[in-house]
Structure 1
Amino acid sequence: MIELRHLKTLIALRDHGTLVAAAAELCLTPSAVSHQLKELDQLFDTEVVLRRTRPVSFSNVGQRLLDLADEILPQIQTAQTDIMRILHGQTGRIIFSSECHSCFDWLMPLLNQYRHQYPDVDLDFAAGFESNPHELLQLGEFDLLITADPIALKGIEYCPVFDYESRLVLSTTHPLLKAENIRIEDLAEETLITYPVDKHRLDIMAKLFIPANIMPKHIRTTDLTQMLIQLVASGRGIAALPDWVVNEYEQKNWVVSRRLSCVAEQGLRRTLYAGYRSEDKDKDYFEGFLKQLNKFSKLRTSYYA
């Protein structure tokens, strides 16, 4: 049976030309190398290495074994290197999920930066928006959840990413722009345009309408932020979006935003969190992402302070 030690011995003989030099390379005695060659000769019932030549040469069988060694040994070395990187947490996979449709605006640039530092880590996103994402995180369906509603679950930790304000979004000609104070009763007469998720996961529903036991006159949904903005801009309804989203469109004069002071004097304030399994945080590549997330959080907090 051909063993890796046989292939390594043949490579050493080819590279160094003599049995003595090959033995030194392999940290073996010349007799041990000679014994390995005899094993090969017996295995194939023919001479594999022509030892009487200087430097040694190889029979057709020996040459075929060298070709095999050239093919297999580099693959084994690569595999060993990869395994060591895995064991030291330098490679792996992070699957992301988010309860926030608009989080990709800031998350994608962050992931692009992370790829430069950890090019061997596979980054992916869970398909769709799940109704029970925290439980699925706990079960290992994905590895990191962006959420504004942390839930205490065994083995799950949350780190704050940043605070934000959910702002009321109106068309530039909306009558409510003239109101000194916008009341919830005023909003109840409107069509609320939002993402197609459970109402309890929408800031304006969970923190304004539901506690007041009041519902909007109509609710219209769309998957795309750009379409949502377009519907609001054309007077089809109102919306509530995080400040980092609406700022871009407000600067373009497409829409206007107002503080939801009917929720609180400081408006509808929320904190975005990253949830993950406790067992993952010590992996080098995962710890690296959490550190980058923390750095991003500090920079953003400093910028908006």
Structure 2
Amino acid sequence: MLEIRHLKTLLALREHGSLVAAASDLCLTPSAISHQLKELDHWYGVEVVNRRSRPVSFSQVGQRLLKLADEMIPQLQIAHTDITRIVHGQTGRIIFSSECHSCFDWLMPLLNQYRQQYPDVDLDFASGFEANPHELLQHSEFDLLITADPIALKGIEYFAIFEYESRLVLSQTHPLVRAESISVQDLAEETLITYPVDKHRLDIMAKLFIPANIQPKSIRTTDLTQMLIQLVASGRGVAALPDWVVNEYEQKGWVTSRRLDCVAQEGLRRTLYAGFRTEDKDKGYFDGFLKQLAKFSQKRQSYYH
């Protein structure tokens, strides 16, 4: 019966032209090569390789088997490589979800770096903002959650990525820019411009307005950070954004920002976490992402401190 070893032997004979050289390449003896050729001759009832010619030549049947070998052996090698990568955790899929609308500013460059090391891992994002993302993570709807509000759930771990300050964003001409202090009552007179997410997941609502049992005059939403900044810059309202987002637009002179010291002396500070299932740490490609995230976290902390 025709076997993979026969096809490899025929390829080696074509490449080297003799039984001795082919045997050396395959780590076999010349007699073992000769025995394989006899098996083929017996199976097909004709001579497959003319061993008397120099270099060896192939009959019509031998040529057809070589064509088969050229098609099959590369595919087997690719499959072997793929299987090895799967077994060693080098391939898979990571689906991300984020409660932070502006996290893509730092997350996307990190993912681009990760793709260079793990090109066979499929990276994807859950669509939209879920109402109960922690439970969905627990039930494998996605694999990694970016959140500022970790919840203790069975089988879920959280990795602290970095601390940030949520700052009040104002137009350059807003009266509060020059105010000695800003109270929650001052902000209650403003239109709050924010992303279209549940108000309990907005830093300024969860840590300022809701505890004070006060609501802003109105809330206006937009999906895009640049549009949000444009609305603030044109005096349509105020916003609260993470410092890494605000810094970029302050440097451009589009807006200005103030510390929300009415929440605490150090401002409205939060910690961003990555939530994931404990069982996924055993996957090589997932552990690789966590290690890259840890390296990013260390670099960011050393930069800001």
- The two structures have a TM-score, normalised by structure 2, of 0.92
Using the alignment, how far apart are the partners of 1:281 and 1:140 within structure 2? Answer: 14
Using the alignment, how far apart are the partners of 2:21 and 2:70 within structure 1? Answer: 20
Deviating more after overlay: 85-94 vs 219-228? 85-94
Deviating more after overlay: 281-290 vs 230-239? 281-290
Gaps of 5+ in 1: none
Match of 1:176 in 2: 176
Q: Deviations over 1:108-157 (max 9, x none)?
A: 22222223333333332222222222222222232221111111122211
Using the alignment, how far apart are the partners of 1:295 and 1:28 within structure 2? Answer: 48
Match of 2:142 in 1: 142
Match of 1:50 in 2: 50
Match of 1:292 in 2: 292
Using the alignment, how far apart are the partners of 1:27 and 1:224 within structure 2? Answer: 63
Q: Deviations over 1:5-42 (max 9, x none)?
A: 22112123223333454445444455544443344334
Secondary structure in structure 2 of the residue aligned to 1:264:
coil
Using the alignment, how far apart are the partners of 1:36 and 1:89 within structure 2? Answer: 37
Give the CA deviation at 1:187: 1.2
- The two structures have a TM-score, normalised by structure 1, of 0.92
Give the CA deviation at 1:282: 3.3
CA-atom RMSD, angstroms? 2.0
Using the alignment, how far apart are the partners of 1:15 and 1:254 within structure 2? Answer: 68
1:73-152 matches, within 5 Å, as 73-152=73-152
Using the alignment, how far apart are the partners of 1:36 and 1:269 within structure 2? Answer: 74
Which segments of structure 1 move beyond 4 Å, counting only runs of 4 or more? 27-32
Secondary structure in structure 2 of the residue aligned to 1:101:
coil
1:1-305 matches, within 5 Å, as 1-28=1-28, 30-305=30-305
Using the alignment, how far apart are the partners of 2:241 and 2:27 within structure 1? Answer: 68
Using the alignment, how far apart are the partners of 2:280 and 2:197 within structure 1? Answer: 28
Secondary structure in structure 1 of the residue aligned to 2:74:
helix
Using the alignment, how far apart are the partners of 2:4 and 2:247 within structure 1? Answer: 63
Using the alignment, how far apart are the partners of 1:36 and 1:267 within structure 2? Answer: 79
Residue type matched to 2:230 in 1? Q
Residue type matched to 1:282 in 2? D
Using the alignment, how far apart are the partners of 1:48 and 1:68 within structure 2? Answer: 14
Residue type matched to 1:239 in 2? A
Using the alignment, how far apart are the partners of 2:294 and 2:151 within structure 1? Answer: 20
Gaps of 5+ in 2: none
**Percent of matched pairs sharing the same residue:** 81
Q: Deviations over 1:148-204 (max 9, x none)?
A: 111112221111111011111111121222322211122112111110111111111
